[in-house]
Amino acid sequence: MIEIRNLQFQPLTFNLSGQGTLHLGPRERKSIARKDLSAEIKTAGKRGLARITDLTGGAEPAKPTSTE
């Protein structure tokens, strides 16, 4: 399982790798299956819009990077 947390104070919507979308309210978090993790969600994690955490104990798939 992968946990996605919205780090923004506005809602975000992502397309999943499978069918469907993921809607996150401000500062909300939800868990999704690893197979549903899309490139769009990974990009949001790299840009610091969302935090992606692997709940199964493995390494995080994408970490936000500092732009400073």
Structure confidence by residue, pLDDT tens digits, 21-57? 999 999 999 999 999 999 999 999 999 999 999 988 7
Give the Cα separation of 16 and 37 in Å (integer). Answer: 6
Give the Cα separation of 47 and 42 in Å (integer). Answer: 9
- Cβ-count burial of 57 within 10 angstroms (0-12 exposed, 13-18 middle, 19+ buried)? exposed
Q: Which two tokens stand for residue 24?
A: 């996150």
Q: What is the pTM of this model?
A: 0.76
pLDDT reported for residue 56: 85
pLDDT band at 18 (very low <50, low <70, confident <90, very high): confident
Give the Cα separation of 65 and 28 in Å (integer). Answer: 20
